[in-house]
């Protein structure tokens, strides 16, 4: 056995070990996420399943909304959520609204103004807020955070993020979706199969806040250990 062949075999053994370790870590992480999601689903009756989860928007720092009063227009105002989550309201001072939905904020403000007004009729309309987005990660041309405008499917999102790289594992794209108390276990989609068959029936529509991850394919895990692979070709093995 030549020195080159010996180096190749050692490299492949190391790569196999690293790959096995990575798979073990991913498996353990999946179990942890599944446990968290299961706990969230068992304690939160408002959660829906992975495919139909459509949560209401919750206010964040920097959001702004118009506040109007049907019977007391002198209190009409436009307010912004401060970094600490509070808004300053005319006549009642500061109240905490971060993390609340519009109906919840409406009720919170109504309760605050009930101290100085008789049965206040309050209307809250979002004016400036964080736009819907999705996150693309892994083996993509341009991973990052993208605005979600209209209906965008997984394959369309991959294209928006620059498409797959050479190292991408097209057949195992992971899609993560939030539950009320954390994340649902990721669902796996075989984009390679969809593209090869010419059918997008299983192509999911992304929801606001979704994240998808494209892992490395098997060859890319071994490539760094193969002599000459960085030059785009294999080094011929000299067999004695």
Query: Do both 116 and 222 map to the same domain?
Result: no
Domain that includes residue 105, residue range: 64-128
Query: Do both 106 and 212 map to the same domain?
Result: no
Mean pLDDT in order along the chain per 10 residues (240 residues): 52 53 53 48 46 70 92 94 93 92 94 93 88 90 90 93 93 85 84 89 88 86 58 46
Query: Do both 41 and 153 map to the same domain?
Result: yes
Residues 6+ apart with CB under 8 A from 15: 221, 222, 224, 225
In terms of Cα–Cα distance, which of 207, 216, 170, 208 is closest to 189?
A: 170
Write down the pTM of the prediction.
Answer: 0.52
**pLDDT score recorded for residue 231:** 46
> Is residue 106, in this structure, part of any structural domain at all?
yes
Query: Do both 38 and 147 map to the same domain?
Result: yes
**pLDDT score recorded for residue 94:** 95
Query: Do both 68 and 174 map to the same domain?
Result: no
Query: Do both 222 and 138 map to the same domain?
Result: yes
Q: Are 62 and 118 spatial neighbours (Cβ–Cβ below 8 Å)?
A: no
**pLDDT score recorded for residue 43:** 38
Domain of 89: which CATH number? 3.30.1950.10
Query: Do both 47 and 140 map to the same domain?
Result: yes
User: Would residue 127 be called left, alpha or beta, if left means φ above 0 and alpha means ψ between -120 and 50 degrees?
Assistant: alpha
**pLDDT score recorded for residue 139:** 95
Domain count of the fold of the chain: 2
Domain of 146: which CATH number? 3.10.560.10
Domain boundary among 110, 128, 146: 128
Query: Do both 145 and 35 map to the same domain?
Result: yes
């Amino acid at each position: 056995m030549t020195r080159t062949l010996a180096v190749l075999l050692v490299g492949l053994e190391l790569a196999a070990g690293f790959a096995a370790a990575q798979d073990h870590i991913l498996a353990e992480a999946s179990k942890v996420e599944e446990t968290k999601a299961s706990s969230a689903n068992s304690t939160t009756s408002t959660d829906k399943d992975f495919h139909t989860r459509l949560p209401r928007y919750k206010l964040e720092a920097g959001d702004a909304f118009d506040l109007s009063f049907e019977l007391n227009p002198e209190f009409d105002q436009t307010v912004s959520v401060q970094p600490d989550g509070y808004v300053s309201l005319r006549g009642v001072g500061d109240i905490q609204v971060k993390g609340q939905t519009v109906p919840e904020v409406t009720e919170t403000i109504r309760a605050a103004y009930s101290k100085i007004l008789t049965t206040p009729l309050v209307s809250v309309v979002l004016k400036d807020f964080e736009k819907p987005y999705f996150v693309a990660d892994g083996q993509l041309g341009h991973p990052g955070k993208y605005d979600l405008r209209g209906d965008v499917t997984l394959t369309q999102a991959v294209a928006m993020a620059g498409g797959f790289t050479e190292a991408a594992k097209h057949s195992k794209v992971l899609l993560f979706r939030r539950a009320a108390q954390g994340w649902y276990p990721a669902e796996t989609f075989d984009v390679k199969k969809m593209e090869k068959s010419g059918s997008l029936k299983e192509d999911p529509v992304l929801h606001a806040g979704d994240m998808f991850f494209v892992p490395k394919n098997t060859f890319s895990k071994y490539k760094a250990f193969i002599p000459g692979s960085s030059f785009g070709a294999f080094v011929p093995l000299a067999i004695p």
